[in-house]
Structure 1
Amino acid sequence: MSVRIGAREVGPFEPVYVIAEIGLNHNGDVEVAKRLIDVAADAGAQAVKFQKRTPEIATPPHMRDQLRETPWGTMTYLEYRRRVEFGDAEYREVGAHATARGLDWFASPWDVPSVEFLERHGVVAHKIASACLTDLALLDAVRRTGKPVILSTGMSTLDEIDLAVEVLGTDRLVLMHATSSYPMPPEEANLLVIDALRRRYPGVPVGYSGHERGLQISIAAVALGAAAIERHITLDRAMWGSDQAASLEPQGLAHLVRDIRVLEAALGDGVKRVFPGEEAPKAKLRRILQS
């Protein structure tokens, strides 16, 4: 079964849906966000994703007053969250730019008011971050929008995922296997979970949201049947921000999309046949021919 997101189908035997996660890697700068949208479009991705928070709600109480060194000076964690958060004007600008570049765009809401905010901006889907998988009020608010939902499953047990799926339903759901280490070491990838999730939730497309360095693990996820691939992107991994080091730079994203498309073509349809390119070698090399 496939799920329609924007103008594209996500599911088995459909082109892999590549999501370039901008997240907060724009550092509160609209022009950086627009450059990252251009990176995603030029690379051939299908979507860009942001993160949307109401800082006073989404920031854990024990973190709010902790001091953090930032490019804008020392400030509390809550002040930092306010500093990098986009509002209506910024989302109108980046949303229009993404649409003009032919990309789907949406965000991970981290609280119920953020769902309502994103709905006003006409997002085509909602993405639930791994950290929010157990927020049942948030899941219910997203379900009630009627939009497709992409659910990341990092830092979660199967029981927690079961409950989230029960709340969201399966009609418009895409699951994303993920491991929430930043950056993720290869030994924590556990890619065989992709098939385990597919068997546990029949008919639900399963993709992969990666936080590793490099491309190999994401390419392997496609070989294992991932219907969607999500990776953080950045203009430069040396930029300030907690997600930058686990992100792909422009050339890396372009190579990832290129390799995904090559692998899709190589996987074929599973039907054994003699290809036209084999006919000449067959005629030259095979000694005994069967009728």
Structure 2
Amino acid sequence: MIKIADHTIGQGHPPFIIAEMSGNHNQSLERALKIVDAAADAGAHAIKLQTYTADTMTLDLDEGEFFISDPNSLWSGTSLYRLYEEAHTPWDWQRTIFEHASRRGLICLSTPFDASAVDFLEELNAPCYKIASFENTDLPLIRRVAATGKPIIISTGMATIAELDETVRAAREAGCKDLILLQCTSTYPATPENTNLLTIPHMRELFGTEVGLSDHTMGIGVSVASVALGATVIEKHFTLDRADGGVDSTFSMEPAEMAQLVIETERAWQALGRITYGPVEAEKKSIQFRRSLYIVENMKAGEVLTEKNLRAIRPGRGLPPKYLQVMLGRPVPRDVQRGTALTWDLLRAD
């Protein structure tokens, strides 16, 4: 189990739900604070920011590999630099957002993208750190974050087993004791077919960490399914209204959807229970409505039991149906009324 602020993460606890604000504030602090409120009202446990500037992410170039020309990309037709300028959360907002989240009972955390962001977030007393999929091979950054001694959540999008092994080793060797890996598909949006949830239990066994899901699919079905496979953390992009637009709005959840996610993932976790057979306590009253053997016609003493006068019906106060063939042909020692449960005592002579 891992403790982040006052929240415990592990298989014995409900899934930890992170609402990822990303750039959905659309460069408005007022909107950012409304997103915090909406996440709290929906029952999420944490709100996540991203801490970078366009200059810490890339170069201000508008050509070649610095320009997004893929027609299938949500961000086609812009440069990386302009995209990050539009999407970044101004650093002078972040203390205000952290404090507002705390007042609303939310854990606030962030994804740093370079060492300067880690230093800044340390000043805000960030309770843990998130590493994005695109930085999960940035070992110097991971070592810097691990050196804080705080829990780290790492998305595993695109990473091979060998790369993840390097990442996990780097984090642990640099001082990270509490590590969470999130299965992730780095497409926006992602499809269920490319999500590969069966990786979750394998990852837990392979690396000995808590595991979860950074979910870029639409809806809540994939996230709910991940809980059945052992996910203890769910991260979803979150906005007030997809129609408002924004860099990540297309694949972000709205408040009503987030509320449903919180409810249904907790139900999925509750349903896991434990390995058990036989009636649970709540079922015991239902045992009386099983089928059992009943006399279904009035009978005189000495008449024999047949398939016509003895049947397996509900309720369950008679002998189990497995005794039907054993009883056929036996005489009843006394008169018996229709609707009498067949018991061993009934067949004994007085």
TM-score (norm 2): 0.75
Q: 1:109 to 1:96 in 2, by over 3 A?
A: same
The question of 1:178 aligning with 2:184 is answered yes
Alignment correspondent of 1:231: 236
| Counterpart contact for 1:43–1:253, Cα < 8 Å | yes
Alignment correspondent of 1:99: 102
| Counterpart contact for 1:54–1:111, Cα < 8 Å | no
| Counterpart contact for 1:54–1:113, Cα < 8 Å | no
Alignment correspondent of 1:32: 31
The question of 1:199 aligning with 2:205 is answered yes
The equivalent position to 1:89 in structure 2, one of 72, 92, 95, is 92
Q: Quick one: which amino acid aligns to residue 186 of structure 1?
A: P
DSSP 3-state at the match of 1:118:
helix
Alignment correspondent of 2:247: 242
DSSP 3-state at the match of 1:213:
coil
| Counterpart contact for 2:133–2:155, Cα < 8 Å | yes
DSSP 3-state at the match of 2:177:
coil
DSSP 3-state at the match of 1:134:
coil
Q: 1:242 to 1:274 in 2, by over 3 A?
A: same
Alignment correspondent of 2:215: 210
Alignment correspondent of 1:283: 288
- Structure of larger gyration radius: 2
Alignment correspondent of 2:153: 150
| Counterpart contact for 2:24–2:87, Cα < 8 Å | no
| Identical-residue share of aligned pairs (%) | 36
Give me the whole-angstrom Cα distance separating, in 2, the residues matched to 1:78 and 1:58: 8
DSSP 3-state at the match of 2:109:
strand
Once structures 1 and 2 are overlaid, which stretch shifts more, 46-55 or 211-220?
A: 46-55
Q: 1:288 to 1:21 in 2, by over 3 A?
A: farther
1:277 CA displacement: 2.8
Alignment correspondent of 1:71: none
Give me the whole-angstrom Cα distance separating, in 1, the residues matched to 2:45 and 2:229: 20
DSSP 3-state at the match of 2:180:
strand
The CA deviation string for residues 10-36 of structure 1, in whole angstroms up to 9 with x for no partner, is 112122100011111112211111111
Once structures 1 and 2 are overlaid, which stretch shifts more, 180-189 or 233-242?
A: 233-242
The question of 1:251 aligning with 2:250 is answered no
Q: Quick one: which amino acid aligns to residue 125 of structure 1?
A: C
Q: Quick one: which amino acid aligns to residue 181 of structure 1?
A: T
DSSP 3-state at the match of 1:23:
coil
Give me the whole-angstrom Cα distance separating, in 1, the residues matched to 2:265 and 2:179: 22
| Counterpart contact for 2:22–2:87, Cα < 8 Å | no
| Counterpart contact for 2:153–2:181, Cα < 8 Å | yes
Count of matched residue positions in the alignment of Structure 1 and Structure 2:
282
Give me the whole-angstrom Cα distance separating, in 1, the residues matched to 2:46 and 2:238: 12
Alignment correspondent of 1:163: 166
Larger RCO, structure (CA 8 Å, separation 6 or more): 1
DSSP 3-state at the match of 2:26:
coil
Q: Quick one: which amino acid aligns to residue 184 of structure 1?
A: A
1:76 CA displacement: 5.9
Structure 1 runs not aligned, ≥5 long: 69-73
Q: Quick one: which amino acid aligns to residue 269 of structure 1?
A: R
| Counterpart contact for 2:23–2:89, Cα < 8 Å | no
Give me the whole-angstrom Cα distance separating, in 1, the residues matched to 2:277 and 2:59: 55
Structure 2 runs not aligned, ≥5 long: 70-76, 291-315, 321-350
Give me the whole-angstrom Cα distance separating, in 1, the residues matched to 2:83 and 2:184: 26
Give me the whole-angstrom Cα distance separating, in 1, the residues matched to 2:207 and 2:140: 22
Alignment correspondent of 2:119: 116
Give me the whole-angstrom Cα distance separating, in 1, the residues matched to 2:80 and 2:109: 25
Give me the whole-angstrom Cα distance separating, in 1, the residues matched to 2:62 and 2:146: 29
Q: Quick one: which amino acid aligns to residue 195 of structure 1?
A: P
